[in-house]
Copies of this chain bind each other. A is one copy, B any other.
């Protein structure tokens, strides 16, 4: 497929690049670093070779979310967004943008989001999971009441947001002790991000903002596979859950799901049977994943060509109001 749109494609700036070093074996780090900092060389070459017309770019992880000093977070976010805006200006048919936001300061985050959407033409924002606020060990999830106004601003802008993984703080997840190969994209990313997404879905956020759309990568971080059980259990007793509807209702109304880093048809199938093909979208997770791996799988995976066009492009066109 020649004109795919990809949504979980990352870059880094000088101030955030070292955050990604942990995700590369030492001998691969220089290559990953180059790919994160590059925009116009291998990034566009790879997009051309593997049929991605448009990449909506976002900062690496955790980056801004991992800066406890709110003022510093604001500065780094702004710097990253400006770098990205410049690249979009140079390649408006090839790049789009998700804003990085200093969620440590919800008011500043709202202002930065407005700037990114209304002035820079960004397509929404991407957060790398929870934010550390004030000190390294103080963590906030975005169902916290302090974000009420932020979400009102975000919803009013009518752009989706991407809930992207970050690793949990190890002192908050001793379960991985002695098995650290399970952290990061192996398993911990999905667990951490899945729970954060479930917090938002069950918080009432989407009752207050029924048009708001959250994007989840990696085929929904495991949620589609167990969503029936989630609702089945809560139907026996909601245990104080504050939202109005069932979590699965929000999953089917307020969530879009991408293929990033999870290039597997049975998983696509399970997701399609829970949310429908209108809410699934192609993504790579470049440069942590290869365009080649994503496209070799997606371009040939055995689904209807009609669904391939929707997942590969048309759903994103509709969600972001492109063209």
A contact residues vs B (CB 8 Å cutoff): 25, 28, 139, 141, 143, 168, 172-176, 178-182, 184-187, 190-192, 194-196, 198-199, 202-203, 218-219, 222, 224-226, 228-230, 232-234, 236-241, 248-249, 252, 261-267, 269-270, 272-279, 293, 301-307, 310
Contact = CB atoms under 8 A, between A and B. Distances in A.
A238 to B, nearest CB: 6
A175 B192 contact: yes
25 contacts: A25-B236, A143-B178, A175-B192, A181-B238, A182-B202, A186-B239, A187-B226, A187-B230, A218-B226, A219-B225, A219-B226, A222-B222, A225-B225, A228-B267, A229-B264, A232-B261, A232-B293, A248-B305, A266-B269, A266-B303, A272-B272, A275-B306, A276-B277, A276-B304, A279-B306
Interface SS majority for chain A: helix
A272 B249 CA distance: 22
B304 A274 contact: yes
A175 B129 CA distance: 12
A225 B220 CA distance: 10
Contacts of A276: 277, 303-304, 306-307, 310
A28 to B, nearest CB: 8
A179 B25 contact: no
Nearest to A26: B237
B179 A261 contact: no
Contacts of A249: 305
Contact of A267 (B186, B225, B237, B277): B225
Given A187-B198, A219-B225, A276-B310, 17 more contacts: A175-B195, A179-B198, A181-B202, A181-B234, A181-B239, A182-B202, A184-B233, A186-B234, A191-B194, A224-B225, A228-B262, A233-B261, A252-B304, A252-B305, A266-B269, A266-B273, A266-B302
A240 B195 contact: no
Q: Which of A249, A276, A277 has the most chain B CB within a 10 Å cutoff?
A: A276
Contact of A176 (B25, B195, B279): B195
Given A225-B224, A225-B267, A228-B263, A273 B202 contact: no
A221 to B, nearest CB: 9
A266 B275 contact: no
A239 B270 contact: no
Contact of A182 (B28, B180, B198, B266): B198
